[in-house]
């Protein structure tokens, strides 16, 4: 769904809009729909060719997950019951992923991680002006295609290095309680303003896009935000 007035709730929480296209991404790094949404956002941004700035905000779909995570079988049993009921959803994700160049390998995932450390790594990347899109790609690919434990500090240090972050600063950040509190505070603000699922995209602080929308629909939102409702481009108050 896309709403036109949601940006008001972020005033004082997120930075003020800039002249470039600003996209605030709310996502979890162990959420397959967040991976789809990220890929579709990449396609949409590539299609418009203009200057853009993307900022990532944390959201944990399993905030009560133990720090060490839990076995996938136990997670599925606790959250979904019969594993067979989940299979059609996984099959659909595999097909949708192929259309976006994602090789979902759910057969390689044996452990469901706590994603707080991964979000802390993303926050570090933003503070260091590193390529957060590349880092998000590395983390999401590492989990969904390789089955890596993205809560593990050694794994995160390796993924961070691929995005230009030094191992020392990664380990220092993940040992720093302030880093943990900063990310938890950001997530609390996101939840306080009504976010209950991911991915979501706030465009130029004006329009709020819920879910992994198609790239062409995101482009339409970009145009509406940049050129105004008086544009001849097709549009609607909401998109499901």
Q: Are 215 and 43 in contact (CB under 8 A)?
A: yes
Helix (H) or strand (E) holding 42: helix 32-48
pLDDT at 49: 84
182-216 pLDDT, tens digit each: 999 999 999 998 999 999 999 999 999 999 999 99
Full-model pTM = 0.88
33-49 pLDDT, tens digit each: 999 999 999 999 999 98
90-103 pLDDT, tens digit each: 999 999 999 999 99
Q: Which domains does the chain have, with CATH numbers?
A: 2-227 (3.40.30.10)
Strand partners, 26: 57, 200
Q: Report the alpha-carbon angle 191-60-150, nearest 5.
A: 155
pLDDT at 4: 45
Indicate the average pLDDT of the chain.
89
pLDDT at 3: 56
pLDDT at 50: 84
């Amino acid at each position: 769904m896309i709403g036109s007035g949601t940006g008001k709730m972020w005033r004082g929480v997120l930075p003020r809009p800039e002249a470039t296209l600003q996209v605030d991404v709310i996502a979890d790094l162990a959420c397959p729909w967040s991976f789809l949404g990220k890929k579709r956002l990449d396609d949409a941004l590539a299609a418009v060719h203009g200057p853009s700035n993307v900022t990532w905000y944390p959201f944990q779909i399993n905030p009560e997950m133990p720090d060490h995570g839990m076995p996938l079988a136990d997670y599925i049993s606790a959250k979904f019951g019969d594993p067979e009921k989940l299979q059609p959803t996984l099959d659909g994700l595999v097909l949708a992923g192929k259309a976006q160049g994602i090789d979902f390998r759910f057969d390689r995932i044996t452990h469901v991680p706590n994603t707080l450390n991964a979000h802390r790594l993303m926050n570090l990347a933003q503070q260091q002006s590193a390529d957060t899109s590349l880092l998000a790609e590395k983390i999401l690919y590492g989990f969904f295609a390789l089955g890596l434990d993205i809560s593990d500090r050694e794994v995160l240090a390796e993924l961070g290095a691929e995005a230009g972050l030094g191992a020392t600063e990664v380990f220092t950040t993940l040992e720093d309680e302030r880093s943990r509190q900063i990310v938890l505070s950001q997530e609390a603000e996101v939840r306080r303003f009504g976010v209950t699922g991911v991915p979501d995209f706030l465009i130029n602080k004006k329009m709020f896009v819920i879910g992994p929308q198609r790239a062409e629909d995101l482009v339409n939102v970009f145009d509406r935000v940049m050129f105004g409702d008086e544009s001849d481009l097709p549009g609607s108050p909401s998109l499901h």
